[in-house]
Amino acid sequence: MVTLGDVAAAAGTSTTTVSRVLNGCGDSHRISARTQQAVTTAAEELGYRPSYHARALKAGRSNTIGLMCNADILSGHGQGYFGGMIDGLNSLVRKQGYNLLLTSDDDRHMTLEQGVIFWKEQRVDALITFGYIIERYMATNTPLAPDTVGLPLVLIESQWPLEYPIVSMNCASAINDAVGHLADLGHQCITYLLPTSSQADDRRSFFEIACKARKVEARIVTVDFPNDRQHDRWETIANRAKAIDQIWSQLADCPAVMAYNDHMALGFQLAAHNRGCHVPHDFSLIGFDDLYAQTALPPMSTISHGLQEMGQRAGTIALEMATSPDAVKTWNNRRETVEAVFIPRGSTGPCPH
């Protein structure tokens, strides 16, 4: 590899000078234009690049933000979620001269520990991760208090109110819009279909409030799914359809359904399909996430997370924490919300009754 010394030798000067020129401190140190020229051309010709590790060791910073996730989110349902996240995050950090280190852990219970290790090893200056990873961690460990750990950490969608900055989605008005959309189409009754294991109760509450405001009947139907988390998403959908089929009597007479997520909505659509009922003719259907809704037939009306923006918000906070240590104290405990948005597409139509 080519080092500062090599460039210095080629330019007939010292490493100090080379370092200064290449870091743009040449002028303030009043280095002659001729020397600067010699240095830059030598560096260019040799294809010099500073050793990342030497630099990071000296500076005590890695100029890297870590994004922690686990295998679930990469290979399972969360692929689209993850991709959207990175989309917003990556361009943001690069503009500040930072890089994004994506770490995913195959062992589903060691993700956070892995992240902390990365931080202790100085591989990353700050970490971004998803709330559920922390929640999973906390189920078997003592909480990580920011003031004792000193770890610059940003959480996305954390249910548990940890003393870290948390960026989360607010879906109240999006759900209100969705309910309004159905009401405008003449629907007098809307079913909210969710898994028994679901934790995001706020969605349900918002749904009920919105229905009350519009004077439409709010029906809650929960379904239990055995053998979930299949590798083949189709299997999952088929499973959901099967479970939904068993409680079909609870669903049959209300032709508008809002589902906990797109995946569940597809399960409903399949179950309906198998019974000869079609969307949007017999049922109006609204998903949640916009991860599978775009490729559904008909294209599914859904509520979108605004993932890119969430990524950017989290990134902004992480960068600030990485840059100035004081910012860590300032940001911890802060809450940022991004507005979800209802996207009407082709799965909703006038009430058939």
Interface ranges with DNA (CB under 7 A): 1, 3-5, 13-17, 19-20, 22-23, 25, 29-32, 34-35, 48-51, 54-55, 57-60
Residue-level length of the chain: 353
For a copy of itself, which stretch binds (CB under 8 A), given 28-36, 113-121, 163-171, 318-326? 113-121
Does residue 49 interact with a copy of itself by CB under 8 A?
A: yes
The answer to whether the peptide bond before residue 352 is cis (omega within 30 degrees of 0) is no
Among a copy of itself, DNA, none, partner that 17 touches (CB below 5 to 8 angstroms by kind): DNA
Tokens 């971004």 correspond to what residue? 128
Q: Is 4 helix (H, G, I), strand (E, B) or coil?
A: helix
Which residues have CB under 8 Å from 78's CB, separation 6+? 69, 72
Q: Is 288 helix (H, G, I), strand (E, B) or coil?
A: coil
Neighbours of 153 (CB within 10 A): 29
Q: How far is the CB of 110 from a copy of itself (least distance, A)?
A: 10
Tokens 């830059």 correspond to what residue? 40
Q: Which is nearer to DNA, 47 or 226 (CB)?
A: 47
Q: How far is the CB of 181 from a copy of itself (least distance, A)?
A: 17
Cα separation, 343 vs 280, in Å, equals 15
Cβ(257)–Cβ(190) below 8 Å: yes
Cα separation, 88 vs 91, in Å, equals 6
Neighbours of 96 (CB within 10 A): 15
Q: How far is the CB of 106 from a copy of itself (least distance, A)?
A: 4
Q: Which is nearer to DNA, 43 or 243 (CB)?
A: 43
| Contacting residue, 13, 17, 36, 62, with a copy of itself by CB under 8 A | 62
Cα separation, 315 vs 158, in Å, equals 16
Tokens 């349900």 correspond to what residue? 204
Q: Is 333 helix (H, G, I), strand (E, B) or coil?
A: coil
Cβ(345)–Cβ(293) below 8 Å: yes
For a copy of itself, which stretch binds (CB under 8 A), given 12-20, 75-83, 312-320, 332-340? 75-83
Among a copy of itself, DNA, none, partner that 74 touches (CB below 5 to 8 angstroms by kind): a copy of itself
Q: How far is the CB of 59 from DNA (least distance, A)?
A: 6
Does residue 147 interact with a copy of itself by CB under 8 A?
A: no
| Contacting residue, 42, 264, 266, 310, with a copy of itself by CB under 8 A | 266
| Contacting residue, 16, 25, 45, 54, with a copy of itself by CB under 8 A | 54
Does residue 148 interact with a copy of itself by CB under 8 A?
A: no
Query: What residues make contact with a copy of itself under the rule CB under 8 A?
Result: 1, 47, 49-54, 56-57, 60, 62, 71, 74-75, 79-80, 82-84, 86-87, 90-91, 94, 99-106, 117-118, 120-123, 232-234, 237-238, 263, 266, 269-270, 273, 292-299, 308, 345
